[in-house]
Amino acid sequence: MNDPYRTLGAGYAERRRPDPRVAAIIEAALGDAHTVVNVGAGAGSYEPADRSVLAVEPSPVMIAQRPPGSAPVVRAVAERLPFADKRFDVGLAILTVHHWTDPARGLAELRRVSHRQVVLTWDHTVMSRFWLIADYLPEIAEAERELPEHDFIARHLAPARVADVPVPHDCSDGFLAAYWDRPHAYLDPAVRASISSLARLDPARVAEATQRLRADLDGGRWQERHGRAGAGAADVGYRLVTSPR
């Protein structure tokens, strides 16, 4: 079983800590579910503590970062879930479908083993306007153009609803656009290492882009273009796809 997270999984337990406001949106989508299968569970972010949860994760690197007391984990892939039909109330998938070898098959399996599905993903069009991508690393948008996003997932889980997931300015979960209001964070190699979209890029190209970002921050150009006043949240493209009962 190939494990890309041997190189992409650095620091997930430390940098990818669940944000309580995002968690509240996911919890609300779970509704009254008692049993949850978390597919592509990684280090266990957003696994509810008050329900019966079984995690599915293929990467030993990610499994090793799951905290003590987290849900039991089965090492398997989304495309071949080792469970009976409709075994779980909800199938959960958090920022993982784009990593699956065959997303359509994985979503079919998620649907097979659960009565309802809750999937966190993104809108490529909105995400590509995020300043880090638009101004500094357009290669991210190009590399991820063919990856499954909200409309692909919604079609495979139809009928499904798609809702915006605003990202707080001080989001504790270090996914790609979490630092939309804290640009200095992207200058930290440890932050970049825990974001797969950045970790996959040519290191020389990322170094050049972060040098430009540093210069723009030092010179005030970033603030002129993107500066925000006060706390809040922003729509940077994240979407929650949920299927009805």
**pLDDT-based confidence at 8, cuts 50/70/90?**
low
**Could you report the per-residue pLDDT of 102-161, keeping only the tens digit for each?**
999 999 999 999 999 999 999 999 999 999 999 999 999 998 888 889 999 999 999 999
Reading the block at residue 102, the tokens are 């065959």
What local confidence, expressed as pLDDT, does residue 230 receive? Answer: 63
Q: What is the mean pLDDT of residues 210-234?
A: 90
What is the pTM assigned to this prediction? 0.91
Contacts 24+ apart (CB under 8 A), 169-173: 169/228, 169/231, 169/232, 169/233, 169/234, 170/231, 171/19, 171/21, 171/22, 172/17, 172/18, 172/19, 172/20, 173/16, 173/17, 173/18, 173/19, 173/22, 173/45
Helix (H, G, I), strand (E, B) or coil at 19: coil
What local confidence, expressed as pLDDT, does residue 2 receive? Answer: 53
- C-alpha to C-alpha distances, 159 to 24, 162, 207, 245, nearest whole angstrom: 23, 10, 43, 10
What local confidence, expressed as pLDDT, does residue 143 receive? Answer: 87
What is the average pLDDT score of the chain?
91
What local confidence, expressed as pLDDT, does residue 65 receive? Answer: 87
